[in-house]
Amino acid sequence: MATTPLIAVTLENADAVYRYYAEHQQPRWKSRFAYFYLARTYRPRVGFDGDARGMIAALVRSGVPMVICANHLTDRDQFILAATAWRSTLRPRIGHTRVLAKDELFVDPGQRAKIDMMGGIPVFRAKNHDTRTAVAAGRQMIDICVERAAATGDSIAIFPEGTRNENPAVLLPIASGVGHIGSGIARRTPVALVSIGIAYPDASCRDAEVVIGEPRTIAATDKPAVITRTVRVDLQHAVDLARDRLAGRADHPRSR
């Protein structure tokens, strides 16, 4: 459990907020139950590209942290990502994965408790705050992600488009933060990049097609811009595969 008091998640409190999340520990068994419940509720159909299943299982066994990237289509994507973890070789990482989430989700106490339980770390987006202050807070957030991955082996889950995409076929520009997180971790410890593509048959978000791509090792010498471009290519490929699987289903001949 965290040793620092629970405080309001506001940009003005950013220093204290990130001190809190530097120490915060998820209740692992409660997290596992929540992920199980979400898997039962949303029932994503999880597939793997190439040798991804075995490669990810090997990473999990070796304890190598992952930077997990998924496309962002709805406000339920985090639930689908959690359900995917339960229904895949990522399941052992439940309780050891931090998920970046916008700061508004931490305002309501009840909702914050759930997000904290599932490993949330708040992100103060520049479009919603004073740009200079938000950028400074963003650097702190990146440092916390790097420290948690290097010190505790936590994986980091990110929706790198940064906002919901109205066009499910083509990714929005990828925010540079994912490159800085991947680069920072790689300078401290081995780390792999995993892309997860999601395609929904309808607005309920149930029975989504999800494809987990083959993990890619991030080298200690890789620059943030190179990692960001790699995320763009790998994640778009995973999205294309997920949409192809959805289009091939008899019950849903077209993706949304």
- Tens of each residue's pLDDT in the chain, 256 residues: 444 467 899 999 999 999 999 999 989 999 999 999 999 999 999 999 999 999 999 999 999 999 999 999 999 999 999 999 999 999 999 999 999 999 999 999 999 999 999 999 999 988 878 888 999 999 999 999 999 999 999 999 999 999 999 999 999 999 999 999 999 999 999 999 999 999 999 999 999 999 999 999 999 999 999 999 999 999 999 999 999 999 998 665 443 3
What the block records as the tokens of 255 is: 């993706």
CA distance 215 to 195: 7
CB under 8 Å to 167, separation ≥6 — which residues?
A: none
What the block records as the tokens of 145 is: 């992600």
- What would the DSSP string read from start to end of 44-79? -EEEE-TTHHHHHHHHHHHT--EEEEE---STTHHH
**Distance of alpha carbon 67 from its chain centroid, rounded?**
7
CA distance 50 to 25: 34
E strand or H helix at 217: strand 216-217
Q: Are strands 216-217 and 66-70 parallel, antiparallel or unpaired?
A: unpaired
Domains and CATH numbers, the chain: 11-247 (3.40.1130.10)
CA distance 28 to 21: 16
